[in-house]
């Protein structure tokens, strides 16, 4: 067979299908590309924006609104403060106790009683004006005034608000047992647990005032408590607050006064008057002793006396002549006890109210309950039942009671003597500052 015979040629695949596939692919490529670019073509007018990551919101910084001045104070610390920094933990005080202090502390430098006898006048000023500085020094933990005034001019120049004009026997804060006590509150401020009467008296005296420096001892620091509610609950649980008003009715902490001192027509705030708290003060050393007592002991006695009066066991205060319109002579009429604790003298004067309350208090046995779990003994009760066979004497109580309404002039010698607490309180309430031409009587 010849080499060019068709039957001898090598077998060649059919190329026609390949050509058709190439033509088809060329035709479809533009369509495929158009389809791939269709999304981009639709957004040609709007740029593609990548959203920012979510913002991290930082919590606001915690602001400590507490008073920083006393946050680091601890129990036992002695600190110097202004009276205006001390917040009350009770609503009321015994006004007559304050009036006694204000009457006694403000001796009359121009008193005519001893105008011709400067020696006697100086004795009078050392019994009155010096007492203010003795009390201030003692309550500051500084013992007492270093010495008596040596002249009337020295007494006249001395002022509480000018420490260069007087000197205490010791440095302030040394005698910590005499210091009044405070608690540091949840807000860093100071809450007074003892000394409402002392500091109210100093706030009211003209050379004292809200900015007068005083020294106090920290009893506890509760600034770690988170809320006012938690703080006051702890204060109540620990008996560091007395939530009763001047009528002994329950109050809330929101009803506590914002400041110490008497209610005044010229200054907002102030503490209410509790007449039974005054009464109990004058029974001191007659029916109870004032050493190492729990907080608010006098209020506990006052609550007990109110209950005795409500049940008819003793007369109510409105049955005694204790304030105007009764005259000073009626209010200050003497009431007494004899050696067998039998009452004598006036039965309706202020002293009679003190005597009758004292007899009722003094009739309690040591273990008798006065308030909740507080016994007569724990509140300093003095028994007033005479028992000569057992050597019991009530002479000290009787002498204290006798002195309460006594004036400050010893006759017939016309010399100065120590006057009674009631005499000062009653006259100051009625007459104001001791001065000639007023109802003080000179």
Write the pLDDT tens digit of every residue in 70-110. 999 999 999 999 999 999 999 999 999 999 999 999 999 99
Q: Is the pLDDT of residue 338 over 90?
A: yes
The alpha carbon dihedral of 278, 283, 288, 292 has a sign of: positive
Name the strand (E) or helix (H) holding 87: strand 86-87
Q: Average pLDDT in the 250-271 region?
A: 96
What is the average pLDDT score of the chain? Answer: 91
Q: Is the pLDDT of residue 124 over 90?
A: yes
Q: Average pLDDT in the 236-241 region?
A: 97
The CA distance from 306 to 316, in Å, is 8
Write out pLDDT tens, residues 350-399: 999 999 999 999 999 999 999 999 999 999 999 998 766 666 789 999 99
Pairing relation of β-strands 92-93 and 272-273?
Answer: parallel
Task: Supply the pLDDT for residue 26.
Answer: 53
DSSP 259-325: SSSB--SSSS--BEE-HHHHHHHHTBTTTB--SSPPTTHHHHHHHHHHHHHHTTSS--GGGSB-STT
The CA distance from 72 to 66, in Å, is 12
The CA distance from 188 to 231, in Å, is 11
C-alpha pair distances (Å), 274 with each of 165, 249, 360, 374, 428 = 35, 11, 19, 21, 17
The CA distance from 219 to 58, in Å, is 40
The CA distance from 218 to 191, in Å, is 10
The CA distance from 178 to 25, in Å, is 111
C-alpha pair distances (Å), 314 with each of 210, 309, 330 = 39, 5, 20
Q: In order of start, what are the domains of the chain with their CATH numbers?
A: 65-273 (3.90.1530.10), 275-403 (no CATH)
């Amino acid at each position: 067979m010849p080499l060019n015979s068709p039957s001898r040629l090598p077998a060649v695949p059919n190329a026609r299908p390949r050509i058709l596939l190439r033509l088809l692919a060329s035709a479809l490529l533009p369509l495929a590309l158009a389809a791939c670019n269709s999304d981009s073509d639709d957004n040609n007018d709007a740029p593609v924006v990548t959203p920012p990551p979510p913002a991290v919101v930082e919590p606001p910084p915690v602001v400590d609104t507490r008073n920083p001045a006393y946050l680091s104070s601890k129990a036992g610390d002695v600190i110097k403060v202004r009276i205006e920094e001390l917040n009350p933990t009770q609503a009321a005080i015994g006004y007559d106790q304050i009036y006694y202090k204000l009457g006694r502390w403000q001796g009359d430098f121009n008193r005519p009683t001893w105008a011709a006898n400067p020696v006697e006048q100086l004795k009078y000023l050392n019994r009155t004006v010096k007492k203010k500085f003795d009390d201030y020094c003692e309550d500051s933990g500084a013992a007492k005034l270093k010495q008596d005034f040596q002249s009337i001019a020295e007494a006249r120049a001395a002022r509480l608000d000018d420490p260069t004009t007087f000197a205490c026997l010791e440095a302030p804060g040394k005698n910590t047992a005499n210091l009044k006590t405070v608690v540091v509150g949840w807000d860093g401020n100071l809450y007074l647990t003892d000394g409402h009467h002392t500091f109210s008296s100093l706030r009211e005296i003209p050379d004292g005032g809200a900015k007068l420096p005083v020294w106090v001892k920290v009893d506890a620091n509760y600034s770690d408590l988170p809320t006012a509610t938690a703080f006051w609950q702890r204060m109540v649980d620990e008996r560091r607050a007395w939530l009763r008003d001047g009528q002994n009715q329950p109050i809330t902490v929101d009803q506590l006064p914002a400041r110490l001192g008497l209610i005044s027509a010229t200054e907002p705030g102030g503490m209410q008057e509790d007449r039974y708290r005054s009464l109990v003060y004058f029974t001191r050393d007659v029916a109870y002793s004032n050493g190492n007592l729990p907080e608010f002991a006098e209020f506990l006695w006052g609550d007990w006396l109110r209950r005795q009066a409500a049940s008819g066991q003793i007369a109510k205060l409105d049955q005694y002549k204790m304030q105007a319109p009764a005259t000073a002579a009626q209010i200050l009429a003497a009431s007494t006890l004899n050696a067998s604790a039998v009452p004598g003298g006036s039965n309706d004067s202020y002293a009679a109210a003190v005597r009758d309350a004292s007899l009722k208090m003094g009739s309690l046995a040591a273990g008798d309950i006065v308030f909740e779990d507080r016994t007569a003994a724990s509140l300093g009760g003095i028994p007033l039942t005479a028992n000569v066979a057992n050597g019991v004497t009530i002479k000290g109580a009787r002498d204290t009671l006798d002195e309460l309404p006594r004036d400050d002039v010893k006759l017939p010698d016309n010399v100065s003597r120590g006057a009674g607490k009631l005499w000062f309180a009653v006259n100051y309430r009625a007459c104001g500052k001791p001065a000639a031409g007023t109802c003080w009587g000179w």
